Structure 1
Amino acid sequence: MKKEYCFPAVLDFTGKHIEITFPDLDEALSQADTVEQAFQRASDVLRLTLESRIDDNEPIPTPTPLPRIELDNGQRTILVVCSLNEKIKYDKKTLTLPHDLNVAAEAAGINFSQILQRALREELEQRPV
């Protein structure tokens, strides 16, 4: 499953390169030589920053609305969107099966985890919320 994120970035055109910063993500910095390159690099640095925060269990801040971002001369805001694959956490469970059922299922090459997941989803769908 993918999750979409959208954060404002500030492009600063006052130096030799276009500087890229994110008001809500201090560690997300980059630079570019062209506007097209700035858009691509902004997307890349946003994705890498969010992945790093998720991996480190750091919070993802609420993006600041564009009208609340103060700009200096030579600066412009853009909205940067990226999609991340959500990482699924798994829990290990131990279960007990009748021996003959286990032998038959293994002989048939059945994936126990997939079958159990499917059965649990079906059971949960039938229960009232």
Structure 2
Amino acid sequence: MKKEYAKEYSFVAVLDFTGNQIAVFFPDLDEALSQADSVEEALRRANEVLKLTIESRIMDEEDIPAATPLDKVELREGQRTIVATCTLNEKIKYDKKTLTIPHDLNVAAEAAGLNFSQVLQNALRDKLAEVE
């Protein structure tokens, strides 16, 4: 039976200001990570990475967890929360690509539980942002 997914999603994202850049992560979505140089860019990237993560999970027919309420997210010094949102209002067309990576890198990435599609999409978006 095909899984049912919502059209709109909202998740708490944490902005961490303790490093050289603003780190963006989602307590409920381990693979959803980004970084930015400004708060404005961090807000934009949080929404983008949320959409990419949700799309990836849907494509892989994975579960999407319930979002932790904003007041239940524990923060450390130098962190603050925002609510990232995305709307899936269009049919997404995907292109399949084949790539070759070193074996040891593949083993380490699989052991870390990385989503290869998500990592490649994030890297391509970052590279395209540099080119613009």
- TM-score tier by shorter-chain length is 0.5 to 0.7
Helix, strand or coil: the match of 1:27?
strand
Question: Percent of aligned positions with the same letter in both sequences?
Answer: 65
34, 37, 55: which one aligns with 2:41: 37
Q: 1:86 to 1:62 in 2, by over 3 A?
A: farther
Once the 2 structures are TM-superposed, how far is the Cα of residue 31 of structure 1 from its aligned partner?
Answer: 0.1
Once the 2 structures are TM-superposed, how far is the Cα of residue 86 of structure 1 from its aligned partner?
Answer: 6.5
Counterpart in the other structure of 1:114: none
Helix, strand or coil: the match of 2:88?
strand
User: What RMSD, in angstroms, separates the aligned Cα atoms of the two structures?
Assistant: 1.3
Counterpart in the other structure of 2:21: 17
Q: Any residues of structure 2 matched to 1:75-86 within 5 Å, and which?
A: 75-85=79-89
Unaligned runs of 5+ in 1: 88-129
Q: Residue deviations 1:1-42, cap 9 Å, x none?
A: x81110000000010000000000000000000000000100
Q: Any residues of structure 2 matched to 1:1-129 within 5 Å, and which?
A: 3-85=7-89
Helix, strand or coil: the match of 1:28?
strand
Helix, strand or coil: the match of 1:60?
coil
Q: Please say if residues 20 and 31 of structure 1, whose CA atoms lie closer than 8 Å, have aligned partners that are also in contact.
A: yes
In the alignment, the residues of structure 2 paired with residue 69 and residue 46 of structure 1 have an alpha-carbon distance, to the nearest angstrom, of: 17
Letter in 1 for 2:39: V
In the alignment, the residues of structure 2 paired with residue 29 and residue 64 of structure 1 have an alpha-carbon distance, to the nearest angstrom, of: 17
> Which protein has the larger Cα radius of gyration, Structure 1 or Structure 2?
1
In the alignment, the residues of structure 2 paired with residue 66 and residue 14 of structure 1 have an alpha-carbon distance, to the nearest angstrom, of: 21
Letter in 2 for 1:55: M
Counterpart in the other structure of 1:109: none
Aligned residues: 86
